[in-house]
Amino acid sequence: MNRRMLTRLYYSLKKKTKQSLATSSLLFVAGCISASFGSIRLFTALNYGLLNYNGNADALSVTLSDVTMSLLIMLPSLGLFLTAYLLLNSHSLGWKLSCASAIGALFLFSSHIIDSELLLVIGVLSAIATAMEIPRLTSSNKRDSPVITENLGRLGVTLSALICISLLVGLLLYIGIRGEKYLSLSFVAGSWSWRHAQEVLGGALGSIGGISDEIIGSLLLVTVCEAVAVPLGLGAAIYLAEYSSENVITDIVRFFVETLAGVPSIVIGLMGLALFVEQLHWGYSLLGGGISLAFMILPWNIRIAEEAMKAVPQSYREASMALGATQWQTVRMIVLYASSPGILTGILLGLGAALGETAVVLLTGSGWGGTTTLQLSLTHAAIPSLPVWIYMAPTLLLGGGAEGRVAEAYNIMFTGSFVLVVMFLAICIIALIVRNHLTKKITGK
Amino acid sequence: MSISRKSIISGFTFSNYIGLKSGLALNIKLLKERLIKTILFLCAASSIGVIFFIVFFVVQEGYPQIVGWFARGFGMVWNPGPYGPYGVTPFIFATLYVGLGGALVAAAIGVPCAVYLTEFANTRLRNVVKPALEMLTGFPSVVMGVVGFTVVCFTLQRYFGGTGFCVLAAWIVLGVMSLPTIASVSEDALRAVPQDLKEASLALGATKWQTTLRVLLPEAAPGIVTSFLLALGNATGETMAVIWVVGNVFPAPPITLNPLAPTNVLTALIANRAQGDSTYGSPEWNAIFAAAFVLFVLTAAMNLAVRAVLARRGKDRLSVSLTRRP
């Protein structure tokens, strides 16, 4: 910072009124308090984490929670600095923000949710600033600078996009970090027994086992599911997009498709439980689970395929008709071909969603027993499935001498989650690649 | 040809079907076309059939309890065992409270994020983030649940005491889970606003932010409201993410607005009670299906709200896929 900058700063401050200088410095002090408080916490947390991590899951969780919390403490300090800046430039939002921070800090202090005297100081400082701003509200000159509003808006949306992206990336990273500990070839390819895993966790030596049966079971379930959902969904989409004009029937069908999309998965699971498990006496089974999953992703397939077909230019159809093709020939050879990128993407995304679905499979396919052996039977045996394995893991692992190894049991559960997430992401990425490749091939661009 | 086109385009009548009205002899080609149309119609009708299946089985198993609720009130305590009473009022309240909070958390981050992606982000960033958001709408909910369990609940427990299982944890988990849905559907809605409206506003001297606030957002409001309602339906019907973090308070969850109180929601209740404690056909079994019926009605009402919002304005403009994650 050289001398000229200081002079510039001095003159720009000199132009401000004394009052705005006073109120903004109050808020600035409050912001400094909150920021130093937060950064001390952040450093302590990071220090602890660096000293104790070494693959220790508990230390990881502690560090993560402390870092999150200290960032949450530092976020208001950013807001306080912003308020100080706004007050300095007599922007009307500054008054509202300082009012909000006063109320928020005093409320948090009085309700004892966070016990800290600093909250009281921050609250009082912003309350004084708010009170000092009141006379200015009634003055005649209240126009806000549009440049500041513009920058504020930009800052706000950028910040929320940053939060959104970092939350989702952090989610994936966290699963990766916790999942890599037990990840090995034998974990993916071996077979699983809860009893054996309990013993290994409880102190016995040996490999923990593997979840190949669960992976294959899940893949079988989504195969059955797609075998039912794809023909039905595609047929329905062709009917809605090609064979009907907009009339009452299509309206009704669309209404039911949307309603079906809104039905919670657990309700579909219960229907499967009543129909397949109890009334048809199949018990928990591959076919029952697959059909119930198909009911769940049917609307997904219909809507995406219908939209893909509607995006095909009308001239393609007219050209085909003019050459003497029947409607079915037009649909089969022209429309389906031109819309195949969209349709395939829809099918693959539905596949990914079905792969991760737990509630339906729990009630119709796998049951609560923690089934781990794969029996190739459509209707006579419960099918092991990876999401259900993840759901059951903490309950079924922590027994038989392994009660004290909670963090390790969760690590094993996270390894399963990691495998599931990798499968899910692989399907999604394949969907994207297929879409880009086919679009290029069809449009020739 | 012209006659067959007409009969295909116009609705479907019996005399058309057997070819009497057209005056043509039974033509194999025509018959094949009509057969195909019938098969396709049956496929389309299958979703109606599935809904009827669901309603039929849920009502068939649950009607004694549904009748009971309407005769004697919905009750406050879910008494396990053969005699009941099975009260669901607190569960319904908590379901709505948790779902609404989760959708609000998602909207608070997701809608500004969508604004950023449409208006301020550069093309390269958008081309990466938009497909990623679309992909993540189907993220496995059980994984979301275990992460919430080990991160969110753990943090809340360290800082606020208690067990860490609470409404706030469910809000956060559901918020992150609905984030991709809200962000990508809102982005589609914002993108669908005609370019000339925006240009007109900029030409009048409005700044980019003023244009966003006064032109873009009001124009895209139906789509944004739709995305919110979709996320609300999502959050209300979510089982596996919530069951890990909400606390599963069993006989009588408190009716409270305190976000740090543990509670229980309908979906978690169903999942927990359906696990073999209640045998097929027992009164509690009926009550579980009746609870599922209540859940079905709640989400169907939200779906009707989506239709109402879309019917009022901008249906043609919003050419987005409105299918929620299943």
pLDDT above 80 (res B22)? no
Report the Cα–Cα distance between both ends of chain A, in Å, rounded: 53
* Rounded-to-integer distance, Cα A401 and Cα A203, Å: 8
pLDDT above 60 (res B24)? no
Residue at A186 is within a domain: no
Contact residues, B window 109-128, toward A, CB-based 8 Å cutoff = 109-110, 112-113, 115-117, 119-121
Is pLDDT larger for residue B4 or for residue A15?
A15
In chain B, domain spans: 2-72, 89-312
Domain boundary among A121, A144, A167: A144
Which class does domain B89-312 fall in?
mainly alpha
* Rounded-to-integer distance, Cα B221 and Cα B309, Å: 10
CB A388 within 8 A of CB A366: yes
DSSP code of residue B151:
I
Is pLDDT larger for residue B1 or for residue A199?
A199
Residues A19 and A138 in one domain: yes
Residues A242 and A348 in one domain: yes
- Global confidence as pTM: 0.87
Please tell me which of the candidates B43, B300, B325 has its beta carbon nearest to residue A236.
B43
Tokens 């495998």 sit at which residue?
A419
A114 inside 8 A of chain B by CB: yes
Please tell me which of the candidates A178, A304, A359 has its beta carbon nearest to residue B239.
A359
CB A212 within 8 A of CB A190: yes
Question: Of the given ranges (A262-271, B108-117, B298-307), which has the lowest mean pLDDT?
Answer: B298-307
Please tell me which of the candidates A154, A264, A358 has its beta carbon nearest to residue B237.
A264
Domain boundary among A144, A175, A200: A144
Residue at A5 is within a domain: no
* Residue B86 β-bridge partners: B78
Domain boundary among A123, A144, A165: A144
Contacts of B142 in chain A (CB under 8 A): 356, 358, 387, 390-391, 417, 420
Hey, which of A335-339, B1-5, B70-74 has the most confident mean pLDDT? A335-339
Mean pLDDT value across chain B: 83
Residue at A312 is within a domain: yes
* Rounded-to-integer distance, Cα A417 and Cα B142, Å: 8
Please give the backbone phi and psi of residue A263, each rounded to the nearest 5 degrees, phi first: -70, 130
The whole-angstrom distance between B74's CA and the closest CA on chain A is 20
Selected for mutation to probe chain B from A164, A242, A323 (highest B CB count within 10 Å) is: A164
Contact residues, B window 12-41, toward A, CB-based 8 Å cutoff = 29, 32-33, 36-37, 39-41
Residue A71's pLDDT is 82
Please tell me which of the candidates B50, B150, B267 has its beta carbon nearest to residue A264.
B267
**For residue A390, what is the nearest residue in chain B, using CA coordinates?**
B142
* Rounded-to-integer distance, Cα A389 and Cα A355, Å: 13
Contacts of A421 in chain B (CB under 8 A): 139-140, 143
Q: How many domains does chain A have?
A: 2
* Rounded-to-integer distance, Cα A264 and Cα B55, Å: 13
Q: Between chains, do A270 and B41 touch, taking CB under 8 Å as contact?
A: no
Helices (H), B73-166: 89-115, 123-136, 141-147, 153-160
Residue at A176 is within a domain: no
Residues A126 and A233 in one domain: no
* Averaged pLDDT, B160-168: 85
**pLDDT, tens digit, for every residue of B115-145?**
999 988 888 999 889 888 888 888 999 999 9
Residue at A156 is within a domain: no
DSSP code of residue A241:
I
**pLDDT, tens digit, for every residue of B82-99?**
777 888 889 999 999 999
Contacts of A147 in chain B (CB under 8 A): 207
Count of C-beta atoms within a 10 Å radius of residue A313: 9
**pLDDT, tens digit, for every residue of B229-279?**
889 988 998 989 999 998 888 788 888 888 888 999 999 999 888 876 567
Residue A234's pLDDT is 92
Tokens 């919530």 sit at which residue?
B242
Residue A349's pLDDT is 86
Residue A54's pLDDT is 65
Residue at A383 is within a domain: yes
Q: Consecutive 10-residue runs of chain A (445 residues): their mean pLDDT?
A: 78 72 83 84 82 70 80 81 82 82 83 72 83 72 75 88 90 88 84 81 77 91 93 92 82 86 90 88 89 91 88 90 88 90 88 90 83 78 89 82 78 91 92 88 78
Selected for mutation to probe chain B from A222, A228, A259, A292 (highest B CB count within 10 Å) is: A259
Residue A37's pLDDT is 80
The whole-angstrom distance between B153's CA and the closest CA on chain A is 10
pLDDT above 60 (res B324)? no
Q: Between chains, do A387 and B140 touch, taking CB under 8 Å as contact?
A: yes
Residue B17's pLDDT is 54
Question: Of the given ranges (A259-268, B10-19, B292-301), which has the lowest mean pLDDT?
Answer: B10-19
Count of C-beta atoms within a 10 Å radius of residue A40: 12
B205 inside 8 A of chain A by CB: no
Q: Between chains, do A153 and B29 touch, taking CB under 8 Å as contact?
A: no
CATH number, domain containing residue A224: 1.10.3720.10
Q: Name the pLDDT band for B321 (thresholds 50, 70, 90).
A: very low
Residue at A247 is within a domain: yes
Tokens of B18: 């057997």
Give buried/exposed letters for B254-268 (b at 16+ CB in 10 A, else e). eeeeebbbbbbbbbb
Residues A242 and A389 in one domain: yes
Domain that holds residue A123: 15-144
Please tell me which of the candidates A64, A157, A262 has its beta carbon nearest to residue B116.
A157
How far is C-alpha A420 from the geometric centre of its chain's CA atoms? Answer: 15
Residue at A139 is within a domain: yes
